[in-house]
Amino acid sequence: GKQMCNYCSLEGLEYENIHSHSMYSNIYTPDSIISKEDIAKRAVELGQKTLSLVEHGYFSNIFETYDIAKKYGLSLIFGSEFYFVKDRFEKDRTNAHLLVMAKNEKGREEITEMVSESNKTGFYGKPRIDEDLLFKLTPENVIVTTACIASPINKYEDYADYFITACKEHFGDNFFLEVQPHTNIKQIEFNRKLQEYRKEYNVSFILGIDSHYIYADDAKNRDLFLQGKNINYPEEEGFIIDFPTVEDILKRLSEQDVLSEDEVIEAFENTLISREFESVKLDDDIKMPTIYPNLSHEEKVGKLHEIINHAWKEDRKHIPKEKWEEYLKAIQFETKIITDTKMEDYFLLNHKIIDKATTEYGGVLTRTGRGSAPSMYINKLFGFTEIDRLEAPIELYPTRFMSKSRILETRSLPD
């Protein structure tokens, strides 16, 4: 009773929800029902400053998350709750959980590389990392937490002392023991273990929520979702994995009756270090690979005209002369769209790829064309389609394939 009163009398506590999951959380075994926007709205509602979605084994759609963070004025934290095994080259499906977040842009690059490596060399049922990959991370660029009860220090017998020592030695103060407020007996027992490790190894606590829905009452909706997927997580019985208020967290920690007041304050305050991380900044300009990196826009447009002129001289042999003017107007109209949007590389690259495929590798062009590609006559000249829109029995609109507004405003590339 006394401890509950002490917790609930703590004033001015804030926290950042560094550990939350959206509906993208697990592409292998889905386990969350909320959107990234749901998380962002709740973060703003609770006065938080960051958006941290640490999906299992990968980051998910960073561009969507980036846009949502900007929309709600939140600093985007980049990280993942990785699947961890002792040796990723072994056929090991234990898949413990470990949380890794980037403090800066270099950290984001290193985590991205680790995600790639977990799929290339660590994939066995799921993408897995191990000690080898973990300790290649630069300590100053990331923070690592022990995550949930599926942590390596809880899942693997006689591993905790070695693993905590190794992480403390490598990551220093950027390694944390993650305490969570669930009132399930397994979490309570794990928090007691963490308390012992904290004293023995002088590793600080950090608060993890592990949100999979927003409000406690939403649990039933997630249960229905999991039933529909024929998925059952018996180890989660008694867990409330919502996005709670400070008051709710304190009540649950009080019910656990494990942490001291100072440990609670430490766990809360350490989440606020995420506010000091470099927010992810993405250059979302359209990027088109080029086969002419040393040429200017004007020079590449010149090459575009060369191909069009050569192809037009060949194609017009089969077109009545009285229709040439109509075709030339079509070419002029379509070429202007390309030059105005600076999309010449799209055509030059695809022209080279398709030409190589059909002439050197025996490839056969899909006769109907791809998507709305037949709606531009230039695409016939470039060899992207065999359909001539000006001869088609129905009207085909070139702007269906690409237009200035589509490229420059909605940032949607040609079909």
SS3 labels along 228-247? HCCCCCHHHCCCCCCCCCHH
pLDDT value, residue 2: 43
Q: Are 415 and 373 in contact (CB under 8 A)?
A: yes
Residue showing tokens 């030409």: 355
DSSP code at position 407: I
| Helix, strand, coil percent content, the chain, rounded in steps of 5 | 50, 10, 40
- As a whole number of angstroms, the distance between CA 341 and CA 404 comes to 6
Q: Residue 233 corresponds to which amino acid?
A: Y
- CB atoms closer than 10 angstroms to residue 275: 14
At CA 265, angle to CA 4 and CA 135, rounded to 5? 130
pLDDT value, residue 29: 67
Helix or strand holding residue 160 (H, E): helix 160-171
* pLDDT tens over the chain, length 415 residues: 444 456 767 878 999 999 999 988 767 666 778 899 999 999 999 999 999 999 999 998 898 999 999 999 999 999 999 999 999 999 999 999 999 999 999 999 999 999 999 999 999 999 999 999 999 999 999 999 999 999 999 999 999 999 999 999 999 999 999 999 999 999 999 999 999 999 999 999 999 999 999 988 776 666 666 566 666 655 566 678 999 999 999 999 999 999 999 999 999 999 999 999 998 888 878 888 999 999 999 999 999 999 999 999 999 999 999 999 999 999 999 999 999 999 999 999 999 999 999 999 999 888 777 678 899 999 999 999 999 999 999 999 999 999 999 888 888 888 7
Of 194, 222, 189, residue with least CA distance to 207: 194
- CB atoms closer than 10 angstroms to residue 244: 22
- As a whole number of angstroms, the distance between CA 93 and CA 124 comes to 7
Cα atoms in the 13 Å half-sphere on the side-chain side of 263: 24
Q: Residue 5 corresponds to which amino acid?
A: C
Token pair for residue 335? 């070429």
Q: Residue 252 corresponds to which amino acid?
A: R
Q: Checking phi first, is residue 205 left (phi over 0); if not, alpha (psi -120 to 50) or beta? A: beta
